[in-house]
Structure 1
Amino acid sequence: MKEELMEILACPLCKGDLILNTQSKEGNEVIKGTLYCKKCNEYYPIDEGIPNMLPPHLRE
């Protein structure tokens, strides 16, 4: 996931701002980490550069 996407990404539940927590990256590409919504207190995982923006009850 490119860091520039943070400008347009929003929480799928409340449309609030997300906070990026990076665990590993290559250049400006986040490979592993999470997106956190302070309003909902929900985390959305980033794995292999792909953010999983599904609401928590729809994830496996």
Structure 2
Amino acid sequence: MALDYKLLEIVACPICKGKLNYDKERSELVCRADKLAYPVEDDIPVLLENRARPLKEEELPL
């Protein structure tokens, strides 16, 4: 089973309420504005600030 792409249309960053991009390789939802990556575990996004991974500039998707 994979992350439901319809879900991406309605989920938002819990901090800035901005769009999240799915990084399939790392199984993360990425917020470019806050430079954070939220894990996706068992196809369920974990949108908790304390579980987010800070991203370096070079890790941000184009």
Q: TM-score normalized by structure 1?
A: 0.73
Which residue of structure 2 lines up, in the alignment, with residue 4 of structure 1? 6
For residue 44 of structure 2, the aligned residue among 34, 45, 50 is 50
Aligned structure 1 segments of 4 or more residues deviating by more than 2 angstroms: none
More strand per residue: 1
Deviation at 1:47, TM superposition (A): 1.1
Letter in 1 for 2:48: L
Counterpart Cα distance in 2 of 1:16 and 1:5: 14
Q: Percent identity?
A: 37
Q: TM-score normalized by structure 2?
A: 0.71
Greater relative CO (CA pairs within 8 A, separation 6+):
1
